[in-house]
A and B are shown apart, each in its own frame.
Chain A
Amino acid sequence: MRSDDIRKLVTEFRGHRLTRRQVVTRMGELGLSLGAIWTVLDRATALPARAAAAGRGSQGTLKLLYWQAPTIVNPHLANGTKDFHASRIVLEPLLTVDAQGNFAPVLAAAVPSRQNGGIAADGRSVTYKLKQGVKWADGRLFSSDDVVFTYQYVINKQTATTSYFQYRNIAKVEPLDAHTVRITFKDPTPFWFLPFVGGYGMILPRHALDAYIGSNSRNAPFNLKAFGTGPYKVETFRPGDLVVYSINEYYREPNKPAFSQVQMKGGGDATSAARAVLETGEYDYAWNMQVEWPVLEHMVAGGKGSVLTAPGGGVEALYLNHTDPNKEVDGQRSSLKAPHPFLSDLKVRQALALASDRGTIAKELYGEEGDASPNLLTTPRTYYSKNTKVTFSIEQASRLLDEGGWTRGPDGIRQKNGMKLQMTYVTSVNSLRQKEQQVIKDAFAKIGAAATLQSVDAGVFFSSSPGNNDTIAHFYRDIEMFTDTFSLAPIAYMEQFYSGDPMRDIAQKENSWSGQNLCRWQNKEYSAVYDQAVKELDPQKNAQLWMKANDIAVEQVAAIPLIDRKIVSVRSKTLDTAGNMSAFDPETRNIADWRRTG
């Protein structure tokens, strides 16, 4: 009799017809001890979650914390990585890419290959078969026409898209039928996967944005209420603060996603974001933990969560100026016409590379967040050269300088013909970077090279205003340090050492400092290998060429790679993110598979 009453109470409690307090009172009236009541209630609340774990929307709210707040849920108009992540919950590309660089179909029915006829042997086109019956979150059918539209949207100069580069080699995109689309390239390319794949490849709904191509893009209602073919759609959006997503009822996969709502909260700083996941447990997941390793390690030790990493966070490197930053020629410093007084000497550059104490930086400051790197090109791993290694030797470095005729002066600084090994070394304002600077400076001092440390606000350092002398492109210093990130195709990353057409490729006044080559390093062999690599269609040979290019840049010390960084996020112990980490597609790419385990 009593057990029936209890069961009835539990049912009413689960059905939210009774509050917790009411249940406790009634059970007390039935003569249950307080301990027994808690046990019953705990089971009553825990059971349904476990039992229904398989069902769509059965797991409540998933809370993501992004210390850089998303400001727009349209990847093609993104102003930063966070916007791609916010968009990827809603929108999908044709293919996704995992951390190792392997493709998997999303909106495509299969990954195109030479074998299945998807990739043309001449590298001029790629044909995708699309999944059938896929619906947008408003119930309309997705078709090849939306892929065509996405191309038209991106390529329109007035739309001012950030993903333009990935699409500029496309001559045309044609729908062969409602579920087949062919992309034809202007120049044959091994990089058929630049457009429509990963973060830059998300497909937009034509029916929502057709009227908002070009400068009209800011009037699109889509900006506040984005929707796509992904597992969620935007419910409410407060730019710079919060995105609330609700389930896309038309999502094609049964029983997914597990969470009924996703909240992406933005703002604050990385350290306190890590704290909210690892120490207070207020949030389930936090992205981009640019936190010094000792701090993060301490928080992880609390046992509330864990660190997720994947290769491809970019290489933190010392970029060497191969031109003279102190001599003004034709109204600009660091001019191609004035070679650097000592950094143009290979022996000096090699000595600096040998004295760069990457091991200490990796161990003390990066821990699991990065490794000492011998290579400039490290990601995807298929391009990782094995011909190089990390050497730290003050002795060898000093010997090289001795051989080069650089003798120590009375102040301990080496000099040659009255020229001192004295340099300015700049990076962005960031406590981790300032510590790296100190490590490098101390090691340089040991070989008799003096570095003056400087730091510039990141907003200025990374800006592209032609009128500001403190940007990375002006490079009015001897050494600058920052991280350049990777993408699946190394063409853009490796272009930073390319000088096929110096007037265009090297940053200088004549091109408003828009050239990609900031080091002003010129090497015919490197440029020749680069030209070949861009065209080589055979994947194996292509990888060989990129490795060769890397080896040349490393041996000639165009720049000194320090740390092969990883992308780092943290998640709560009870969250399973199903192998979400990848540098080539936002971490939210498989949010439909995320689930709570406890």
Chain B
Amino acid sequence: MTRYILHRLLTAVPTLVIISMVIFGILALAPGDPLGQLAANPDVPPEVRQNILHQMGLDQPIPIRYAKWAMSWATGNWGYSFASHISVARLLLQRLPTDLWVIGSGYLIAVMIAIPVGVLSAVKQYSLLDQVATTSAFIGYSLPTFFTGVLMIIIFSVRLHWLPFIYNVQVRDPVRMLQQAIMPVAVLALFQSAVLTRFVRSSMLDNVGQDYVRTARAKGLAQHRVIIRHVLRNGLIPIVTLIALQLPTVFTGAVVTEQIFRVPGVGSLLIASIQNSDTPVVMAIAFVAAILVVLLNIAADVVYGALDPRIRYG
């Protein structure tokens, strides 16, 4: 087991190096520069802008810039934001708690809805409950978050004045904290649970017809024990992968939702940094996300072993 994990970790290193090269290359070749907002401002003439870009090192060839970046990452320095002159690690640390709170709870609620609903609609296939769950899952899945978000703002903020639509981290009052989180969390949970419900349902259906289930029933086990102890346990295996692979989004943020509700998570930082060509920040977020995906992949494989005794690592 340990050998297996060690082996996987070692093979992950070259993968990550290649990923970092690709991301860096794309960012370096992408058009735009950090001073775009000042371009139509004659008070900041091109010579001044060029000097600033020179000081940022943006006039150097791409391989040299990559080498510098890689060396500083190797020593644990994530670099400095072009826009705020503050270390990238510090910027990310400022944003993470909000992400964990808003996106984390959105995800948690989604899982808590999706598993029971998915299980029930598989067990009672084609029942009224299944029909309702399926329909709402398709509605939730096909409505993009930018639509549901704006719709909720218009109903609950503009018309009814119930909820604030601008997220403010400065709020300390627990009631207002909940109030401002309701809409973004709901939007995320709606979308995520829709996706997950479908997966849980189909994965359960795959197992319900299996021989071992019939055997379990033949043994005279109660229906709920058959479903929970046998079917669900096997049905969850692909779901675990799915959840594990989506966990990095708790870190990278939900770009669209964060933008609509002005939630200051990593996602809104990412989109703002892309727009301003703030390469060090974009690089750090993208690369950390890549690391998380690779690590969680390994973690998912390890959890498999616990869930499915047939899988053994040698």
Q: How far is the CB of B203 from chain A (nearest CB, A)?
A: 38
Cα-based distance from A137 to B37 in the complex (angstroms): 31
Q: Which among B10-18, B38-46, B137-145 touches the partner chain?
A: B38-46
Residue of B nearest to A157 (CB): B51
Residues of A within 8 A of B84 (CB): 71-72, 223, 239-240
Residue of A nearest to B37 (CB): A80
Cα-based distance from A159 to B91 in the complex (angstroms): 21
- The reply on B50 being an interface residue by CB < 8 A is yes
Q: How far is the CB of B165 from chain A (nearest CB, A)?
A: 7
- The reply on B55 being an interface residue by CB < 8 A is yes
Contact of A238 among B80, B157, B169 (CB under 8 A): B169
Q: Which among B193-201, B217-225, B241-249, B256-264 touches the partner chain?
A: B256-264
Q: How far is the CB of A508 from chain B (nearest CB, A)?
A: 12
- The reply on A38 being an interface residue by CB < 8 A is no
Known: A68-B37, A265-B262, A267-B264. A459 touches B55 (CB 8 A): no
CB atoms of B166 and A276 under 8 A apart = yes
Residues of A within 8 A of B158 (CB): 275, 279-280
Known: A267-B259, A464-B49, A516-B42. A239 touches B32 (CB 8 A): no
Residues of B within 8 A of A279 (CB): 158
CB atoms of B45 and A492 under 8 A apart = yes
Known: A464-B33, A514-B50. A282 touches B164 (CB 8 A): yes
Contact of A79 among B35, B48, B170 (CB under 8 A): B35
A487-516 CB contact bits vs B (8 Å, 1 = yes)? 100001101100000000000000011111
Q: How far is the CB of B58 from chain A (nearest CB, A)?
A: 9
Residues of B within 8 A of A495 (CB): 42, 45
Q: How far is the CB of B65 from chain A (nearest CB, A)?
A: 14
Interface centre among A200, A470, A514 (most CB of B within 10 A): A514
CB atoms of A263 and B170 under 8 A apart = yes
Known: A224-B86, A268-B262, A496-B42. A65 touches B166 (CB 8 A): yes
CB atoms of A460 and B264 under 8 A apart = no
Cα-based distance from A313 to B50 in the complex (angstroms): 25
CB atoms of A463 and B259 under 8 A apart = no
Cα-based distance from A462 to B158 in the complex (angstroms): 35
**17 A–B contacts, CB within 8 A, in A order:** A160-B51, A165-B45, A215-B55, A224-B86, A240-B268, A240-B272, A240-B273, A272-B165, A276-B165, A458-B36, A459-B36, A459-B275, A459-B276, A463-B277, A465-B32, A465-B33, A484-B42
Residues of B within 8 A of A266 (CB): 262
- The reply on A283 being an interface residue by CB < 8 A is yes
Residues of B within 8 A of A81 (CB): 37, 41
Instruction: Tally chain A residues at the interface, Cβ within 8 Å.
Output: 76
* Interface set, chain A 292-350, CB cutoff 8 A to B: 314
CB atoms of B45 and A80 under 8 A apart = no
- The reply on B161 being an interface residue by CB < 8 A is yes
A235-252 CB contact bits vs B (8 Å, 1 = yes)? 010111110100000000
Known: A81-B37, A242-B264, A463-B31. A160 touches B56 (CB 8 A): yes
CB atoms of A160 and B55 under 8 A apart = yes
- The reply on B81 being an interface residue by CB < 8 A is yes
Residues of A within 8 A of B36 (CB): 458-459, 462-463
Interface size range of chain B in the complex: 35 or more
- The reply on A259 being an interface residue by CB < 8 A is no
Cα-based distance from A240 to B273 in the complex (angstroms): 9
CB atoms of B168 and A218 under 8 A apart = no
CB atoms of B170 and A464 under 8 A apart = no
- The reply on A482 being an interface residue by CB < 8 A is yes
Contact of A462 among B40, B169, B262 (CB under 8 A): B40
Q: How far is the CB of B289 from chain A (nearest CB, A)?
A: 18
CB atoms of A485 and B42 under 8 A apart = yes
CB atoms of B48 and A165 under 8 A apart = yes
CB atoms of B31 and A280 under 8 A apart = no
Residues of A within 8 A of B157 (CB): 280, 282
- The reply on B94 being an interface residue by CB < 8 A is yes
Cα-based distance from A104 to B313 in the complex (angstroms): 77
Interface centre among A74, A282, A464 (most CB of B within 10 A): A464
CB atoms of B43 and A200 under 8 A apart = yes
CB atoms of A238 and B94 under 8 A apart = yes
- The reply on A158 being an interface residue by CB < 8 A is yes
CB atoms of A165 and B43 under 8 A apart = yes
- The reply on A468 being an interface residue by CB < 8 A is yes
- The reply on A164 being an interface residue by CB < 8 A is yes
Residue of B nearest to A459 (CB): B32
Residues of B within 8 A of A263 (CB): 168, 170
Residues of B within 8 A of A269 (CB): 259
Cα-based distance from A157 to B164 in the complex (angstroms): 45
Q: How far is the CB of B61 from chain A (nearest CB, A)?
A: 12
CB atoms of A483 and B91 under 8 A apart = no
CB atoms of A514 and B34 under 8 A apart = no
Interface centre among B81, B86, B269 (most CB of A within 10 A): B86
Nearest 5 CB-CB pairings of A with B = A462-B39, A492-B42, A241-B264, A514-B46, A239-B84
Residue of B nearest to A235 (CB): B170
CB atoms of A460 and B166 under 8 A apart = no
CB atoms of A482 and B40 under 8 A apart = yes
- The reply on A394 being an interface residue by CB < 8 A is no
Q: How far is the CB of B163 from chain A (nearest CB, A)?
A: 9
